[in-house]
Amino acid sequence: MSEEKKECCGHDECGCGHEHDHECGCGETVTLSFDNGEEMVCNVLGVFDALEREYIALLPIGEEEVVVLRHEEGEESSELSPIEDDAEYEAVVKVFEALFNEDEE
């Protein structure tokens, strides 16, 4: 899975319902490219640390379910990978929810 980051200025397409720091109100987006040729554009909700690793929370445009992936920053690009261990995923989601709920207050 690869990603392409860009600033989103099509805020009418955002649809996430959350406030972001970008001028147009919709924030940074990432385009995920899959091995089967499909692509998915997502709003970046945040990058955060949990379990001594870095993770990224994404909200696919037009969807309501957040996607949480491992995030490793490389020299030229970021590497995103799915969390395959259920216990790790549950722990990371708890950290994300705690951080996200804290930001909304």
Name 21's Cβ contacts closer than 8 Å, sequence gap at least 6.
27
For 33-58, write each residue's pLDDT tens digit: 889 999 999 999 999 999 999 999 99
Question: What span, in angstroms and rounded, lies between the C-alpha atoms of 36 and 64?
Answer: 23
pTM for this predicted structure: 0.70
Question: What span, in angstroms and rounded, lies between the C-alpha atoms of 105 and 102?
Answer: 5
For 79-96, write each residue's pLDDT tens digit: 899 999 999 999 999 999
Confirm if 53 and 95 have CB atoms less than 8 A apart: no
Name 76's Cβ contacts closer than 8 Å, sequence gap at least 6.
none
